[in-house]
Chain A
């Protein structure tokens, strides 16, 4: 099948149905899902037809009742005048919303694979493609990864069209545009760009289309492929393209001038540009009151800071700057470290490693076993390690705290892990000097980062009234008439805020 696509043979249909069937059968050799059904009208002998479709991709009811039944049973002799039988069938007989005529075998095979039915008629070099797509999809469900106590309970599914309908239902505006594209030389995966015309910056859209066109890959299994293929700095641990399972999230971002990419077969929809502050945003923030939102966002930021810096700070304090620890704390840390075999840095690395192992096993385990892993790993291992004086108790507290705070913002993937290790190493070499060097480097790195032309730290570095409405704090809705728009630097004119 794949070889067929690669060769792109331009074979044409012939007059004979049997010859045409053979053509299809040659293409689909060793594929038993291909169904070929020949039949003839009982009044009009000339109407000898054949439907070809692929089992499991079609709605057989539509084929039986709207194609075979009318052609087989209707009195075509009376209904159909002499003219073109193919056209007459299309106009008068077949009861389907979407019927096309095609002669190219390449198109016909493509349609059949997509779940449409090919209707061959004796004596015609063309065939009809009748839309009969119909396969089982998952019902619209609450998204597992992005639960919200408050807010809509529906999440995207694997079907592109259903996903688009979920978005359309949120924004009933003809300015909402859907542009289809096909990606993947083998998988022919359909993707759809959604944006609000006039709100989404033209430059970002152009850049996105440019990047999508450059993609060369044989298959797209999930939007994750595209996410990585179109991000700004491919090797960075930070994302510049967001993904979500929630239609309300996508709708909100479209209103802000962002662009969404829906990928067929993936319940994760991409939105871009993506800025650093968005790591700390959750959908619920927009439904809860703004004060509570501000509190939770602050918590998430502090949590992320702790997840990245805690081990490094602990190592610097205990190996370089003992004078900075309050005396009673210093004494109890010293007491806990008595007789432990490893230097603090080794303890920190071991515990960090152990936590990542626990996290990874916890994620992959089936839910009932997951509990056991946590109990065995955290309670028994941790307790025994302290008891046996392998690891000092403060280190276990620090790494536990690090792990928990890292889970406050689950959107981060590799960023905290990599940065934590880096800072730990710098702290081991130079103490707080090292941490400061790391911090300076981090700020410089952030400053040069862009997501589709938008500064990555937008809204956190400059205090522009419009940019800070939805960052660490969220301005109450009664003071916001438009969703805060994305300020793309050179694009202020086309941006109709105010």
Chain B
């Protein structure tokens, strides 16, 4: 009886949170202009922000037609810019349904915290908004493609980001997550990169690669392959593909492996007073594409393929770690955080030195790849005479 009433009161309280969330000023729904995405740039002089919003314009008519529209306004601060914007747009701008925030490189280099603060503090914006960095010169040109493609580009970008789990082309970062990374010790933030690509005759934004931050400042980029390795280390791969070059006679033909499942474990170990990180990656893949006639499906072929794939994975991951260590010296993998979690005593000693120490940390990679099946065919294609 007591537990029943406890459960009931919990349910009641939860039910109330559903009802008591939300704003409480009266405004008719058709007096609002919905913001789908935000882009933040620095003005040319560098002392002002350029705030760009992509709005959803709904046309009045028998069928509802939605158009993308962008408004760019300058302001000393972001709120100032928003205020200036309200005096241009007839309907009130409504930010609660914004899905993406794109930062320009200039803004990111100057320090993301400056703009992230407003995004997070603003009562209307949600904490689960996707944050991206534009690889183009400005951030607004990403959103401006919307009006040319009959799409609300922010919503499209949001969907692309939600798919990242199975594509592994860029790290997905929602605002709350970014704030955690920025504030957490032993981990540096990364953001997905968005650039413009010409697809057929249209220019569309494409999310590939990673923007690397040190503290809150942008220091460099990782390309698509490096990004996948980063995601492997962070245990954020749930799909995607590996391409393996053939060996020896089959040097020219490639094999595609589809990632079915991946589990990565970081293990910090102490050796001779130094912290070392051991990365164990367990990946299950399926052969999805075989160029040429080499049999990778029989056991010897399969083992050979597993071996070579493991090796190239190891090599590539080690390269990425080394690159990040030497070039950016930013712990985007979260090694420090892992040490903090597993060896809190040690972490207390090295915490203040971690910024210097990170670049010298020894990392060993132990990939373990299992080929589970070969998709719909159990044999390579044969070519007869």
Contact = CB atoms under 8 A, between A and B. Distances in A.
Interface stretch (A26-34, A125-133, A148-156, A322-330): A322-330
A255 to B, nearest CB: 29
A50 to B, nearest CB: 76
A331 B22 contact: no
B28 A343 contact: yes
Contacts of B64: 331-332, 335-336, 338
Find the residue from B19, B23, B60, B126 having the highest chain A CB count within 10 A.
B19
A64 interface: no
A334 B64 CA distance: 9
B19 A320 contact: no
B150 to A, nearest CB: 15
A415 interface: no
B66 A431 contact: no
Interface in A424-462: 428, 430-433, 435-436
Contacts of A331: 34, 56, 58, 64, 66
A266 interface: no
A333 interface: yes
Contact of B23 (A323, A332, A340, A343): A323
A337 B22 contact: no
A335 B66 contact: yes
B176 interface: no
B124 A319 contact: no
Contact of B97 (A323, A339, A432, A436): A323
A336 B63 CA distance: 9
Given A322-B29, A322-B96, A331-B66, A463 B1 contact: yes
Contacts of A322: 27, 29, 32, 94, 96-97
B26 interface: yes
B2 to A, nearest CB: 12
Contacts of A336: 64
B353 interface: no
Interface in B13-46: 16, 19-30, 32, 34
Given A327-B155, A435-B19, A436-B16, A320 B25 contact: yes
A318 B30 CA distance: 9
Contact of A320 (B16, B22, B60): B22
A340 B60 CA distance: 10
A323 B96 contact: yes
A344 B30 CA distance: 10
A169 interface: no
B30 A436 contact: no
Interface residues of A, number: 29
Contacts of B60: 338-339
A92 interface: no
A343 B94 CA distance: 19
B246 to A, nearest CB: 47
Nearest to A333: B29
A330 B97 contact: yes
Interface residues on B, range: 20 to 34
B201 interface: no
The interface residues of chain A, by DSSP majority, are classed as: helix
A228 B348 CA distance: 78
A319 B34 CA distance: 14
B94 A430 contact: no
Contact of A334 (B19, B22, B29, B126): B29
B97 A321 contact: no
A432 B94 CA distance: 19
A344 B94 CA distance: 19
Contacts of B34: 327, 330-331, 334
B24 A430 contact: yes
Contacts of A318: 28-29
B4 interface: yes
Contacts of B96: 322-323
A431 B24 contact: yes
B30 A338 contact: yes
B27 A319 contact: yes
A410 B30 CA distance: 36
A432 B60 CA distance: 29
A433 B20 contact: yes
B58 A338 contact: yes
Interface string B227-245: 0000000000000000000
Contacts of B1: 463
Nearest to B5: A463
Contacts of B25: 320
Contact of B32 (A334, A339, A432, A433): A334
Contacts of A324: 21-22
In the complex, which of the residues B22, B23, B66 has the most CB atoms of chain A within 10 Å of its own CB atom? B22
A340 B30 contact: yes
Interface in B117-144: 124, 126
A401 B60 CA distance: 25
Nearest to B8: A463
Nearest to A439: B19
Nearest to A428: B26
Contacts of A319: 26-29
B22 A321 contact: yes
A428 B27 CA distance: 10
Nearest to B123: A323
A223 B1 CA distance: 42
Contacts of B23: 320-321, 323
B24 A320 contact: yes
B19 A337 contact: no
Contacts of A431: 22, 24, 26
Given A334-B29, A339-B60, 17 more contacts: A318-B29, A319-B29, A320-B22, A320-B25, A320-B26, A322-B29, A323-B23, A323-B97, A323-B124, A327-B99, A331-B34, A334-B32, A334-B58, A335-B58, A335-B59, A431-B24, A432-B22
Interface of B: 1, 4, 16, 19-30, 32, 34, 56, 58-60, 64, 66, 94, 96-97, 99, 124, 126, 155
23 contacts: A318-B28, A320-B22, A320-B23, A320-B26, A321-B22, A323-B23, A323-B126, A324-B22, A330-B29, A330-B97, A331-B34, A331-B58, A331-B66, A332-B64, A336-B64, A337-B29, A338-B59, A431-B22, A431-B26, A432-B19, A432-B20, A432-B22, A435-B19
By Cβ-Cβ distance, the 10 closest A-B pairs, closest first, are A335-B64, A323-B96, A321-B22, A338-B60, A337-B30, A318-B29, A339-B60, A432-B19, A335-B58, A327-B97
